[in-house]
Amino acid sequence: AGPAHIGTLRIASSFKNVHAIMHAPLGDDYFNVMKSMLERERGFTPVTASVVDRHVLARGSQEKVVNNISRKDVEEQPDLIVLTPTCTSSILQEDLQNFVNRASLESKADVILADVNHYRVNELQAADRTLEQIVSFYIEKARKYNTLELQRTETPSVNIIGSTCLGFHNQHDISELKRLFSDLGVSINLIIPEGSSVNQLKNLPKAWCNIVPYREVGLMSANYLEKEFNIPCIDINPIGTIELANFIRKLQSVLNALGSDVSFEDYITLQTKFKSQASWFSKSIDCQNLTGKKAVVFGDSTHAAAITKILSREMGIHVAWSGTYCKYDETWFKKEVTGLCDNVIITEDHGLIANLIAKTEPAAIFGTQMERHIGKRLNIPCGVISSPVHIQNFPLSYKPFMGYEGTNQIADLVYNSFTLGMEDHLIEIFGGHDTTEALTNTLSSVDDLKWSTEAKQELQKIPGFVRGKIKRSTEKFAKSNNINSITLEVMYAAKENVGA
């Protein structure tokens, strides 16, 4: 997981009209690049830096932070400005709260200081904490002005807490949950933070219960709301057929305990048998081929636990070990996966994971992008199931992990990872179909040309898929200029000649 301030920024920029100001040196606003690139965001990321430079080191930030807050207040007119400390400002130990107090006197926007310590918490913990902080800030504010909505909605409704930007397949998951609740006749009161406004937070108490779909973000806010308003919370991750059924049953019992009279059993049966293909898939011949195959799982606690359960309980795959980098959540993770895998690994050290994978030699890996790269080196296929991720994990097409459509997606992901591995082996056993080398040799008919060592080396540096073309065009150039031996200089001249 990333550093704390990333978590705070993810929460702040998920809300509408909230601006975050980082107290950070030049270059730390890398978050903007990630948001803009990974999510292909059309808007400007509402994050700016109050730059810490030499002058700040020497004399302190003085008016700078306050001025930057006031400036953003005028320029963007946000509802809320979140001052975000970074690792650098943690060490400087300036009284940021004081800046916040001063700035909030003048600015129209509310101003708060994110209460996160870089050296104590990581991205996910910080996101959880910042969300709680903003929720409680606006609940208290509404209390003060007597605008708090305490009347529960007439028909059952829920809050979904923990939908954030840059979350793994988050947007798709939320769409799928919306569909699920609409099927169940449960309305959605609020989804926070993604896409909601801080002014809506006073409506949170209207919901019958809170849904926290991800383990990492939202639990603190849900606990706060349970303590303040006695709103129950469902924290089962609705991933995989079995857990999804557990999730819906829990919802049923919670709603009925509050005076509703609903039964979702028929819905579960119908969906499991006919809507989702996953349970049929696990009975089919395809899946029987996977029985007992060895896999390893690593990721954030939500996804690693959910995938482990699916592999082992729903597909009969042998999970050699399952692990998470969420060290702070060790107890929960162990409780969830014990009995479903041979070993549980809790570590933030990717080197250790790489070595473990090499030692285990699984038929497939389910992990993050890090594990995918390890898999590439070891020639083991990998399905990506969790952050940290790359742009290809923000697909344009609909790919939820949650809900009934999610079970289909996961079945595909698992199956494709394994068959790819099998195909690979078959090709290897039958000699493969890699004849690139022979192809290049036959096509370059000129054999009276000599390549100098340097030129050959240079040629090797050129990416494989164009190498043949470059080789041929260089030789053509040499031939038409009556050159017999190809040196580096000839190569460059040939390159210039074709205008590349």
Partner 1 sequence: MLTEQNESVTFECETGNYHTFCPISCVSWLYQKIEDSFFLVIGTKTCGYFLQNAMGVMIFSEPRYAMAELEEGDISAKLNDYEELKRLCLQIKKDRNPSVIFWIGTCTTEIIKMDLEGIAPKLEAEIDVAIVVARANGLDYAFTQGEDTILVAMAQRCPQEPEISIDSTSFKSQEENYTNHPPLILFGSLPASVANQLTFELKKQGIKVSGWLPSKRYTELPTITEGNYVCGVNPFLSRTATTLMRRRKATLIGAPFPIGPDGTRAWIEKICSIFNIIPIGLEEREGKIWEGLEEYLKLIANKSVFFMGDNLLEISLSRFLIKCGMIVYEIGIPYMDKRYQGGEIKLLEKTCKEMNIPMPVIVEKPDNYKQLERIRKLQPDLVITGMAHANPLEARGITTK
DSSP state of 203: G
Rounded least distance, CB 70 to partner 1, Å: 14
Nearer to partner 1, 28 or 173 (CB): 28
Cβ proximity to partner 1, 82 vs 251, nearer residue: 82
Name every residue whose Cβ is closer than 8 Å to that of residue 59 and which is 6 or more positions away in sequence.
Answer: none
Binding letters toward partner 1, positions 363-382, x by CB under 8 A: -----xxx-xxx-xx-----
Contacts for 127 with CB less than 8 Å, ≥ 6 apart: 7, 8, 10, 11, 164, 216, 217
Cβ(177)–Cβ(238) under 8 Å?
yes
87 counts as binding partner 1 under rule CB under 8 A: yes
User: Nearest distance from residue 29's CB to partner 1, in Å?
Assistant: 6
Q: Which residue has the tokens 């303590």?
A: 227
Q: How far apart are CA 476 and CA 471, in angstroms?
A: 9
Q: Which stretch binds partner 1 (CB under 8 A): 114-122, 186-194, 201-209, 226-234?
A: 114-122
CB of 173 to partner 1, least distance (A): 22
- The answer to whether 183 and 28 are in contact (CB under 8 A) is no
Q: Is 94 a binder of partner 1 (CB under 8 A)? A: no
Which residues does residue 322 pair with via DSSP β-bridges, in sequence order?
297, 344
Residue 3 contacts partner 1 per CB under 8 A: yes
- Pairing, β 110-113 against β 47-51: unpaired
Nearest C-alpha neighbor of 84 from the set 44, 38, 52: 52
Written as six digits, the tokens of 237 are: 């991750």
Q: What minimum distance in Å lies between the beta carbon of 389 and partner 1?
A: 8
Assess 37 for contact with partner 1 (CB under 8 A): yes
Establish if 220 lies at the interface with partner 1 (CB under 8 A). Answer: no
Task: Figure out which of the listed residues 120, 143, 335, 456 binds partner 1, where binding follows CB under 8 A.
Answer: 120
What residues from 415 to 434 belong to the interface with partner 1 (CB under 8 A)?
none
* Residue 286 designated active-site: yes
Q: Are 216 and 302 in contact (CB under 8 A)?
A: yes
By CB under 8 A, is residue 25 in contact with partner 1? yes
Unique residue bearing structure tokens 């769409």: 175
49: which strand partners? 22
Interface segment toward partner 1; rule CB under 8 A; list 21-29, 225-233, 253-261, 324-332: 21-29
Q: For residue 414, which of 264, 327, 287 has the smallest C-alpha distance?
A: 287
Q: 168 near 113, Cβ under 8 Å?
A: no
- Check binding of 40 to partner 1 (CB under 8 A): yes
User: Based on CB atoms, which residue is closest to partner 1, 57 or 150?
Assistant: 57
Binding status of residue 496 toward partner 1 by CB under 8 A = yes
Please name the residues in contact with 164: beta carbons below 8 A apart, sequence gap of 6 or more.
10, 11, 14, 127, 170, 193, 194, 217
* Alpha helices, H only, 311-402: 330-337, 350-360, 369-378
Say which residue the tokens 């919901």 belong to. Answer: 207
* 27 contributes a contact to partner 1 by CB under 8 A: yes
Using rule CB under 8 A, residue 327 touches partner 1: no
Tokens at 171, concatenated = 């947007």
> Does residue number 54 form part of the binding site for partner 1 (CB under 8 A)?
yes
Span from 24-32, 96-104, 408-416, 429-437 in contact with partner 1 (CB under 8 A): 24-32
Q: Which of 122, 133, 272, 302 touches partner 1 by CB under 8 A? A: 122
Q: Is residue 143 part of the contact set for partner 1 (CB under 8 A)?
A: no
Q: Which residues are catalytic?
A: 286
Residues that bind partner 1 (CB under 8 A): 2-3, 5-6, 24-30, 32-34, 36-37, 40-45, 48-49, 51-54, 57, 75, 86-88, 91-92, 118-120, 122, 350, 354, 368-370, 372-374, 376-377, 388, 390, 458, 461, 488-489, 492, 496, 499
